[in-house]
Each structure stands twice: as structure tokens, then as C-alpha cells.
Amino acid sequence: MFFGEARNFAARGGVALKRLIKAPAQKAVGRGRGFCTPSAEKSGFWAAYLRALERRPILTKAITSGCLTFTADVICQVCAPNKEGLRQLKAKHASENTSSAGSSNDNEISLHELQLRLSLIDGKRLGIFTTLGVFYIAPCLHFWYGFLMRAISGVSARATLTRVFFDQSIFAPVFLGGLFANGLLLEGRPEAVRAKLAKDLPPTVLANWSVWVPSMLVMFRFCPAHLQVLFSNSIGFFWNIYLTYAMNKDEA
């Protein structure tokens, strides 16, 4: 099933890419069925968002992705600080003459503890992940999903499974590797790229498959092309919390 589609994928891909560059944002795919149809709301914020997607798709998706990656990294830094964050947190407790016992492992964070953790947010790390959300994640997903929907058209089970196959077997490993590499380049540590990819890319790809294979089956089956980045970002909000954790795991 997959390989029958694969024989024609490259030939159709060139035509699809030309159409993607020239065409405006697509309003619907197939029958436009499901919860992602543009007619779901006709007024209010959702309607304004849909209009923005149609008029300025890349900009709108970039801003959305930036907001989500910003929030995801804040949550990750507050709830799961790395070793440096924990060291600073303990030093802060010590400077205030408060007990640090269990402070980094409690399931519930007090208001005072939350304020301390927010005050220790790593602004550079937050800026890097947000920048990647705006300038790397959103554009990559926009052009890839657009290309994939045009190269493999339709909403049949066969088309959906074929898209998921190409998305997860080809795009996902390359995309995640690029995310790790670009993050380290922005940190000014290009020498760490190879070791990071060797150590953390394989488990991240496996985790990615467990989350995104079922999500992509739903998205490619029911979601119009112009809303696919929004859908993936919505699922990806929680994935991004894990992803920023994986990107910033302490080196052994």
C-alpha cells in the first residue's frame, strides 16, 4: 500500500511544490469534514483567527507557534528544572534561610516556591526555544504539510496512512535533528551537536512516534490543510514541554 504510493510520490511532489508556492491558503481538503472546518464558527476570535490564517498563513502560524513554545518552556522550567536550575533554586532557598528539603521534588508547588522558580527562568533558553518556534517549527510544518497534502491528495484511509508513513519515517527524524542542531547553534555550542544527536535523538524520535502517529492519523483524516499547523501546535503544546526538556537535558 505504501510503496504503491511511493512510486509516484517524487513525480507528484514537484507539481505539488509549485502549487504550494503559488497557491493561497487552502480553505478545505476533501469534504472538509470534522471539527476543524472553517464554518465551525462565524464570529468572534475563532473567525478572526481563521481570516488571519487565510490572509497571512505563515505569519499567523509563526506567532501561534511562538506563543505555544514560549509557554511550554516556562512550564517546563518551572515544573522540571535542570541541574543548574535546581542548584540556583537551592541557593535561593539558602539565601532566604528556608529549608530546601523536598523543595525540588514536591508534587505541589507553593505560591512562594512558584515565585522563586519564575524568578529563576533562564531567559536565554526561553528566547532560543521561542525563536525556534517562530522561525523553524512553524515554517517547516507549514510547507511540509502543504506539500504532503498536495502530493498525496484525498481523505481516504489509504491516503491518510501514506501521509503518516512519509511524515513519521522521513520528516520527523530530520525535523527533530534540525531542531536539536539549531538549538545548540543558537546557544553557541556547535561542537556539541554530534554528541547531542547521538545521545538524545533516537529516544526523542521514539517518543515522537508514540505521540504523533495517532495524532497524525486524526489530523490527515479530518483536518483541512490550513488548520493543520494549528492542530499540530495544539497537540504539540504538551509535546513541546517534553521537547524543551529533551533539548535541555543536562549533559552527563
* 134-178: pLDDT as tens digits: 999 999 999 998 999 899 988 888 998 999 999 999 999 999 999
DSSP classification of residue 190: G
Please say whether the beta carbons of 237 and 68 come within 8 A. Answer: yes
Rounded Cα–Cα distance for residues 161 and 217 (Å): 7
pTM beyond 0.95: the answer is no
Query: In the structure grid, which three cell numbers stand for residue 81, read together?
Result: 528544572
The answer, yes or no, to whether residue 13 has pLDDT greater than 80, is: no
Query: In the structure grid, which three cell numbers stand for residue 121, read together?
Result: 527562568
* 190-205: pLDDT as tens digits: 999 999 999 999 999 9
Alpha helices by DSSP H, listed for the chain, are 2-22, 45-55, 57-79, 83-95, 111-119, 123-132, 138-151, 157-166, 172-187, 193-222, 228-247
CA distances from 5 to 86, 148, 164, 208 (A): 50, 12, 12, 24
